[in-house]
Amino acid sequence: MLNLSKIQAITLDLDDTLWPVWPTIARAEVVLQDWLALHAPQTALLCAQPGVKQAIRAAINQRHADKAHDLTFLRREAIRESLLRAGEAPHLADAAFEVFFAERQNVQLYDGVQPALARLAARYPLVGLSNGNADVFRTEAGPYFQAAVSARVFGVAKPDARIFHAAAAQLNLPPEAVLHLGDDATTDVLGALLAGMQTAWVNTQGHDWPHDLAQPLTVSHLAELCDYLLA
């Protein structure tokens, strides 16, 4: 169980903890495809073919395996590769990515997350800690956060202990004084535990606990955990 008396700050995963990620990505893909139809029509036609985008993305991921932590780089390079294969100007990848990325920030928080963040932020400093490439400060969750640490910028991804320690360092706190909240049982919960943090599992998808270690405090929604912490 949590040692509430030791918790001085909270780090939070973003995608699938505060908002559902795949509807967000799907909307961004549509906006990108519409932009390509106007500015790079041959690329738009190519990407509309079944399986083509997935195959290009897989090839880019394999080619740049050392960049697995940097989803921004991988997405931009997949767009660039699509342009090249379609015979259109590869420099358009930068503008195309920015269109995608702007819509990527247009997230829709889970019901109850906004008031939960407001309550938590009134008591604890909050830091975003994500393997994804969402910019929390460009989302409606942004006003409640003091800082953010991303795998893309830091250079390694959760569950590597170093990124958890970097988040604690942002707060000038030892890891044991920080509570990490996230939806992924491995990258978030197990990673935080092995990094010396306290943790709770925000199990929004109703998954079974997959590890031999005792299951930590588990809630289905951030608001539920908020009630526990602030009772």
Mean pLDDT of the chain: 96
pLDDT in tens, 187-205: 999 999 999 999 999 999 9
pLDDT at 227 over 90: no
Counting residues of the chain whose pLDDT is more than 70, the rounded percentage is 100
Counting residues of the chain whose pLDDT is more than 90, the rounded percentage is 95
User: Is 13 tagged catalytic?
Assistant: yes
Closest among 85, 100, 131 to 29, alpha carbons compared:
100
pLDDT in tens, 10-34: 999 999 999 999 999 999 999 999 9
pLDDT in tens, 148-159: 999 999 999 999
* Fold for the domain defined by 22-104: Four Helix Bundle (Hemerythrin (Met), subunit A) (1.20.120)
Mean pLDDT, range 85-109, rounded to an integer: 97
pLDDT at residue 125, as a whole number? 97
The residue ranges of every structural domain in the chain are 4-19+109-230, 22-104
pLDDT in tens, 201-216: 999 999 999 999 999 9
pLDDT at 68 over 90: yes
Rounded-to-integer distance, Cα 75 and Cα 78, Å: 5
**113-138 burial, b if ≥16 CB within 10 A, otherwise e?**
bbebbebbbeebbbbbbbbbbbbbee
CATH class of the domain comprising 4-19+109-230: alpha beta
Closest among 52, 187, 180 to 132, alpha carbons compared:
187
Task: Enter the tokens of residue 75.
Answer: 């997405």
Contact status, residue 204 vs residue 110, Cβ threshold 8 Å: yes
Mean pLDDT, range 41-50, rounded to an integer: 97
Under the banding of pLDDT at 50, 70 and 90, the label for residue 91 is very high
Rounded-to-integer distance, Cα 137 and Cα 149, Å: 12
Per this entry, what is the length of the chain? Answer: 231
pLDDT at residue 99, as a whole number? 98
pLDDT at residue 231, as a whole number? 77
Say which residue, 1 or 155, is predicted with more confidence.
155
Marked catalytic residue, from 13, 16, 184, 188: 13
Rounded to 5 degrees, φ, ψ at 199 are: -155, 155
**Max CA-CA distance within the chain?**
61
Under the banding of pLDDT at 50, 70 and 90, the label for residue 1 is confident
3-class secondary-structure state, position 126: strand
